[in-house]
Amino acid sequence: MQVATWNVNSIRTRLTHVINWLASNPVDVLCLQETKVIDLDFPKTPFEELGYYLYISGQKAYNGVALISRSPLEEVSMGFTPFIGETKGEKFDVQKRVITAVINQVRIINLYVPNGSELGSEKYEFKLLWLELLKNYLTAIQDKTSQELCVCGDFNIALEDKDIYDPRGKENHILSTPAERQALQNVLSIGLKDAFRKFTTEGNHFSWWDYRSAGFIKNKGWRIDHIYLTPKLYEQAISCKIDIEPRKLLKPSDHTPVIVEF
């Protein structure tokens, strides 16, 4: 089974890119982030014509996540609330950042982690709280199910220095501050492992490049799109790669797909 994650930075803007990529890379499940469209306006037909099923949780102009699957998915839910309750999850679920479903006894969890804006801002504090809640959410899933987990998406965190083209000053740079890294490490402590690092240990491999300053051409990138697996699924993984080809297209997303196979 192949699962891919891709922050498309507006599905309507990048629709042709995504459809063409799927036609050439018929993964079993494609996890999208930053779809930036309400559910009613999501462009479903082109995916359905390729034989895919759609499960979407969107909002106008911001955020938004979707699961695009070659087979019907089971136990589909959106947001934190279904597993941790309204009291803890409701205010965070206003932003559409979480969607999960089960396929072949594997639970896919597709995330769009908040960016955080800048160190010390309200959005930064919200990001840290969101990650704390994410750990509670994943723990609740583990407590209530016996499923293997594939947790993927745009995490907006470069966990190691080698995930950044130039890590100088990282401690004051959003996406790489010590508090963000520690918050993600706390999430991973429930037993999640980085699928990409199972196969590629060296640096200079990135999934996001700033549109400015010829970031992609100069390979001034960051690896902030991740796929994390529970131990049994991690052992079953046979490849995990970053496909940079879509980033070469005209008017691309600033992110590119990451694909795991197990």
The residues assigned a catalytic role are 112, 154
Token digits for 22?
Answer: 């799927």
Q: Count Cα neighbours of 62 within 13 Å in the Cβ-side half-sphere.
A: 7
133 in Cβ contact with 89 (< 8 Å): yes
- Contact criterion met (CB below 8 Å) for 59 and 38: yes
Taking alpha carbons only, the member of 69, 122, 125, 71 closest to residue 99 is 69
List the one residue out of 83, 50, 95 whose CA is nearest residue 68: 50
Distance between CA atoms of residues 170 and 195, nearest Å: 24
Short-list 112, 135, 136, 125, CA closest to 174 = 125
DSSP state of 10: -
Strands 2-7 vs 29-33: parallel, antiparallel or unpaired: parallel
**DSSP code at position 236:** H
Beta bridge partners of 228: 151, 194
The phi-psi region of residue 53 (left if phi > 0; otherwise alpha if psi is between -120 and 50; otherwise beta) is beta
Residue 147 to residue 102: CA distance in whole angstroms: 8
Work out the number of other CB atoms within 10 angstroms of the CB of residue 249.
14
